[in-house]
Structure 1
Amino acid sequence: MSETKASGFGQVSGQPKKKKKAPNKREAAASKYDEMKSKGLPEFNIFIRIKGKEWVPAGSMAVERSNKISQAIFQQEAELLKSAIRLYPILRKFKDNLEYGYRLKEFPDEEVTVAVLPDPTIGDRVKYAFAKAKEYFNSLTKKK
C-alpha cells in the first residue's frame, strides 16, 4: 500500500494561523463597566458577608439608576459569588448564609446598605422559566 497525504485546496503556509481569542466574561464586563463609568453613571462598591459578620469587598458596579442597584446585584449574583469565593474561599461553606451590600463609591465613609432581593415581576418570572428550560435542554444535549 502506498501512503498518501491529504491536503486541502491551496498552498500550505509555513506558519499556522493564530486564532483570535474571544474576550472572556470578565474582560467583557470590565469594558462595559468602564464604558458606563465614562458616561458618568453612578458607581457602587459591592460587598459580601456571612450574615452578622464584617463586610468584605466583592467588586464594583455601575448602574443606570441608583434605585436599581439591588436588582443589578442579584442579576449578577452568580458571578459576584464566584469571584468572592475566589478571593475568600471560606465563603464557600456559607453560600446559603450570605448577604450582599453596596455603597456609592464617591462616599466611602457611608454605611454599607444591605441589598434586598426585589420582588420578581412577571417579566422576571418568564425570563427565569426560559432560563431554567434552556438549562434543562442544554443538560440533555451535553455530551458526557
Structure 2
Amino acid sequence: MRLQIAIVTAVLFLSGCAGSSKVMIGQARPPIDPAQVQVYSVPPPGSLDVAQLEASSAIGFGTQGQTDSAVERLKREAAALGANGIVLIGVGTAGSPASMSVGAGSWGRSSYGGVGIGIPTSQKKAAAMAIWVPPGAQQQPSPAPSTTPL
C-alpha cells in the first residue's frame, strides 16, 4: 500500500511540473477545439497576433513525447483564447546533469560503503505566438530550394 501511495505521489508531483504561461497581445475570441489549431513556421498573411505562449512538458528523459506534449499544451492554450493557429518560435531542453557519488564510512569494527547515481532528467520547453487566421488566408509559400551547383 505504501508503494502505491509513493507512486501516485510521484506521478502527481511530476505532472505538476508541467506548465504554461501567456502574455496577451491582441484580442481573445471564444474558445475552440484544440484539434482546430494549426501549427505554422511563419504567420500566414492577414493573421492577427493574440498572445505569446510558453509551455513545458512534465519532467522525463528528453523524449520526443515530451516535445509533443509541450506543443500540445501550446495548442490547448491557444484554443482556450480562440486562436486557430500557433507560430512555433522554438523548443528547448532544461534539465539536470547526470551525477555520480561514492561514499564510505565506518562505525566501530564495521565498514560501510555506497554508490549514488543521479539519473539525468529534463523538461522540454516550447514558445509560440498564438494567432487568429481569418477564413481563406493562405500560408506564404516557401522559397524553392536552389538547384545551382556550388
TM-score band, normalised by shorter chain: under 0.3
> Whose relative contact order is higher, 1 or 2, with alpha carbons under 8 Å and at least 6 apart?
2
- Point out the structure with the larger helix share: 1
- Point out the structure with the larger strand share: 2
